[in-house]
Structures are given as structure tokens and as C-alpha cells.
Amino acid sequence: MIVMRTRLLFVAFALATVCFGKDIKIVVLKTQPEMHCANCEKKIKDNIRFEKGVKSIKTDLDSKTVTIEYDADKTTVEKIIEGFK
């Protein structure tokens, strides 16, 4: 019983370390030239999703912004912006 409890505690600790060890950040970028249609959204998502460290991409046509959640240990805002080109 004690061995099983120790193993369970070790697994929980290891999982917590992995979850909290990442430096997850969010950046909101205004598109230039402005994103104006669904095709623009698709192009942006298709290009940015291959950038290493990107976790999620949300686009908003009304405000012409792209919200990107990324792992700062794997990429930078500059690299993400470069992905727009």
C-alpha cells in the first residue's frame, strides 16, 4: 500500500512539474495588411500553426486581430511575426 501511494505521489509530482514548467504566453497581433475574409484567416492559421511552440491560434475578423498562445521556451514573438510573411 505504501509503495503504491509513493508511486502515485511520484507520478502526480512529475505531471505537475511538466505542466507548470512551461512558459506559456499570449500575444495579440493586428494584421497588416488587414485580414478581411475567411480566406485570409485560413492563410494565417495555415502559416502560423507550423511555427514551433504555437499552442493555439484564434482570429477575429471584426477587430482584425490574431491571438496566439505559445510556449516562450520554444519560440518568440519575432519568429511568430516572421511566420505571417
**Residue 84: how many other CB atoms lie within 10 Å:** 14
Phi, psi of 50 (to 5 degrees): -85, -10
pLDDT score, position 81: 86
| Sign of the alpha-carbon dihedral angle for 61, 25, 33, 63 | positive
Burial class (CB in 10 A: 0-12, 13-18, 19+), 32: exposed
Write the burial class of residue 4 (CB in 10 Å: 0-12 exposed, 13-18 middle, 19+ buried). Answer: exposed
Which pLDDT belongs to residue 27? 93
Q: Over its length of 85 residues, how does the chain's per-residue pLDDT go in tens digits?
A: 443 343 434 444 444 444 555 789 999 998 877 888 999 889 888 888 888 999 999 999 999 899 999 999 999 999 988 887 7
pLDDT score at 12 = 41
